[in-house]
Chain A
Amino acid sequence: MAASPGTKLCTGMECIDRLVGGGLPVGGMVSVCGPCGSGKTFLAMEYLLRGALAGQRGVYISTVHSPEKLLASMPRLDRAEGDPFKDGRLAIKHIDDMGSGEREDGKITRPEASAIVEDIAEAIDGSKAQRLVLDATNPLMLEMQDWVARAFLVSLSKLLFKAKCTGLLITEGDDMQGLEQTMADGIIRLGTAVRRGDNYRVLEVVKMAGVAHSRAKYVMDMTSEGILVTPMLRGL
């Protein structure tokens, strides 16, 4: 049975749950976008680790770094129990190592895009995942024509909703006009704010379907207790 509209997945990350009224839409596709070094991968990893702590399985699909490299730079959370990647609560895969394999000509056709969605479906089904991370979408989108990319995202969105699996699509860059943002149920934007020469990591919820969410900018810190946020001061 597909996810019921309006039901929420409590992520276990206070920085997200508090800002979006309790959690992300179950079976939703949420875009997390921002430039290099803004904390996207950290946020995505914490999302899966918090899920594992709550007994929810998850899959991390990388389109860039190898699983070995990602595991080596994995954030360590205080109070985490065991290694969820070793005991099977979480799985990590590279897109090229999945069923449809690496594409050689640098272009993803419609059938190949469908095959990627099938690979993702298999990964979700195989591990009974309730949480998915696709990091990052840019390499895939770059290799797809617009209409193929649109069809890919529509299929992925349908798949997540049907599987009641809540997905984070990680997108590199500040562009809010991308297809991922247009088609996402929610958008969390990470970035940098500069005040008097100092750089601040900031997080804002741009959109979250069906929720009266905060629109404020929050300064964020990445710690062993996870991502912490506080409203950016205005000094008015």
Chain B
Amino acid sequence: MEEVAPQVLGRLEELGPAVSLDLNLSVEAYFDTLTTLIDRFCNKKQLTCIYISVTVPASTIKAALGSLEIATDRLRFVDCISFATMECAPSDDAQTVFVESPAMLEYIVLKVEYLFRKGKGERFMVILDSVNSLAAHNEVRMLYEFMQVLMASVKSRGAYPVLLSIGEQMKPEVHEMLQLVCDQIITLK
């Protein structure tokens, strides 16, 4: 497997902000991709990273990054999974806002908008982790409409929109939908 970081960083630099990018990755490349995006891109460029977590609770991601001594102070989470598992503790973590269910797509849009407003004047990257998990909770037609609204909102803020998808686990109709809503799809080798 080629190194993930040069592929991801090279493409982000080339595309710039307001271009929706789907990173189609393998399970093995997942964590490397994440650390590249957060540490080597957002932290280096001083971007605030809005991380929409649908697969893994925000606390787990934060702890994993912390164990690698990656700074997480620029991270803001929209955690769509902890409420469903009753593991959310809103008062404990000022960096995280919760959505009650990954099926409540409008609230994801609203929480992202809220974090944009809270960080007035900051520059952003928005990571959606992952398309596969959202597709497990939502019909493709609904997901398509959601993606269009979310991407329009993120692009209008001049942020970097990045979607993570695991190609080997994806249904063909979800892949088709991604081709419609994304400006670029990169398969990480």
Contact = CB atoms under 8 A, between A and B. Distances in A.
Interface of A: 78, 195-196, 198, 200, 219-221, 223-225, 228-236
A219 B107 CA distance: 8
Nearest to B150: A230
B136 to A, nearest CB: 14
B103 to A, nearest CB: 6
B104 A233 contact: no
A100 to B, nearest CB: 43
20 contacts: A198-B104, A219-B106, A219-B107, A221-B114, A223-B110, A225-B118, A228-B110, A228-B113, A231-B106, A233-B105, A233-B106, A233-B142, A233-B145, A233-B149, A234-B145, A235-B141, A235-B142, A235-B145, A236-B141, A236-B145
A196 B113 contact: no
A219 B100 CA distance: 14
Contacts of A235: 139, 141-142, 145
Nearest to A234: B145
B107 A221 contact: yes
B110 A219 contact: yes
Interface of B is mostly: helix
Contact of B149 (A78, A230, A236): A230
Interface string B114-128: 100110000000000
Contacts of B100: 198
A80 to B, nearest CB: 14
Contacts of B107: 200, 219, 221
A225 B115 CA distance: 9
A220 B113 CA distance: 12
Contacts of A234: 145
A221 B110 CA distance: 7
B104 A230 contact: no
Interface in B60-118: 100-101, 103-107, 109-111, 113-114, 117-118
B57 to A, nearest CB: 19
A174 B159 CA distance: 40
A231 B107 CA distance: 11
